[in-house]
Amino acid sequence: MPEMKARWDIFCTVVDNFGDIGVTWRLARQLVAEHSVTVRLWVDDLRAFERLCPDIDINASQQWQQGVEVRQWTANWQPTEAADVVIAAFACQLPGAYMDAMAEREKPPLWMNLDYLSAEDWIVGCHGLPSVKYKSVQKFFFFPGFQKGTGGLLRESGLLERRQQFQQNPESQREFLQGLGIDRAQGAQLVSLFAYENKGLASWFDAMAADSTPTHLLVPEGRVLGDVARWLGVDGLVAGAVHVRDALTVQVLPFVRQDQYDLLLWCCDFNAVRGEDSFVRAQWAGRPLLWHIYQQDEDIHLDKLEAFLALYTKELSEPAREAISGLWHSWNAGETMSDHWLATRKHWPELQKHAEAWCLEQALQDDLAAALVQFYVNWI
Ligand code: TRH
């Protein structure tokens, strides 16, 4: 098997937040664990990395984490041999000296740009096409996606089985939640909230507080806390804080390790997620979700939102489709959420069933790491 011996370099610039490192770290680990390749992960911001993986030594220029060689990518680039497969994540610009090292190899490496995730149709036509060339080295587009003909989604082997076992085991869930200091409020639905700042939050919280079903809302530390604090009428919020307002219990959680975040999503009845990686993980959780999409210039993110909603809601009944689409639209526009939340709650059983069906359908695709390896095998 040629891929057994291959050396891979993955380059990650942390533009902001955690998605860039979240995706590349997950991919690097999976390539090592499931495809026996050698991976160096070059990262320009180890502090962001440390949040997802507290074992990271932010001062080390080189370290090993879960079989991955993590290299600090500094402005002062030291010459290094180019790998067999080079992945530039999210169109990041490789160091000039490294590009020369790629071109100097006897057999140029396979050079790919791992793009952002989108459900738009044009992805299918562009996935795998040649992009620019540097000297003798050809770059290729690699697009993750939800549809056949794309690069698929990151999904570790056995993930869904592990998730289903965990969800069928209330004791494991209770233990995990207790470890985070969570004692589920009696009869309450569990909701997680990972989002950017959002003006619509107050109206959603109002609706949950006034609901006949209690909600226990879990909010990992992060950008949305300011809005949460404003709604609660408190000065600031730190991990461990618990506030009750009528039927709504709000609990602030520490930002947990990446694998623990999966367990949190698996415990919850509903997950509000954002960006790219948490969005995909919430789909693998098999539970209804709310996506806060990452805003882009000229509102191009709205096309991505529509494309995903069109795919995701295709098999839903008309009223359920309207309800969940309305909720996602209002959340992403920062508009009033209350009516949309109530409408969504009306279609809960259908949305729950659908979330699992969607997850299983997506899992029929090759996962992204396997698709990358296959692309390489086809290329050599
Ligand atoms: O953090 P994000 O908003 O990241 C990104 C980046 O901003 C990026 O530039 C942009 O292009 C992209 O969004 C679309 O959202 P995301 O992608 O969900 O990444 C969050 C990561 O953090 C994900 O890997 C899960 C992880 N995480 C934890 O490990 N622990 C936690 O407690 C939480 C809440 C998240």
Q: Where are the domains positioned within the chain?
A: 7-154+366-379, 159-362
Q: Which of 278, 118, 276, 117 is nearest to 192 (CA)?
A: 278
* Ligand 1 lined by 220 (C-beta under 6 Å): yes
Q: What are 88-144's pLDDT values in tens digits?
A: 999 999 999 999 999 999 999 999 999 999 999 999 999 999 999 999 999 999 999
What is the tens place of the pLDDT at every residue in 233-250?
999 999 999 999 999 999
Whether the predicted model's global pTM rises above the 0.85 cut: yes
pLDDT grade for 3, boundaries at 50, 70 and 90: very low
Neighbours of 300 (CB within 10 A): 11
The top-level CATH class assigned to 159-362 is: alpha beta
**What distance in Å separates the CA atoms of residue 103 and residue 309, rounded to the nearest whole number?**
42
**E strands present in 75-136:** 85-89, 110-114, 130-134
Q: Whose CA is nearest to atom 7 of ligand 1?
A: 17
Residue 47, Cβ density class (10 Å: 0-12 exposed, 13-18 middle, ≥19 buried): exposed
Using pLDDT thresholds of 50, 70 and 90, give the confidence band for residue 4.
low
Q: Which of 3, 9, 221, 276 is catalytic?
A: 276
Domains 7-154+366-379 and 159-362 are alike in CATH topology = yes
Concerning whether 276 is annotated as a catalytic residue, the answer is yes
Which residue CA neighbors atom 5 of ligand 1 most closely? 19
Among 18, 219, 253, 260, the mutation site with the greatest number of ligand 1 atoms within 8 A of its Cβ is: 18
Regarding the domain delimited by 7-154+366-379, which CATH topology (the fold level of the hierarchy) does it fall under? Rossmann fold (3.40.50)
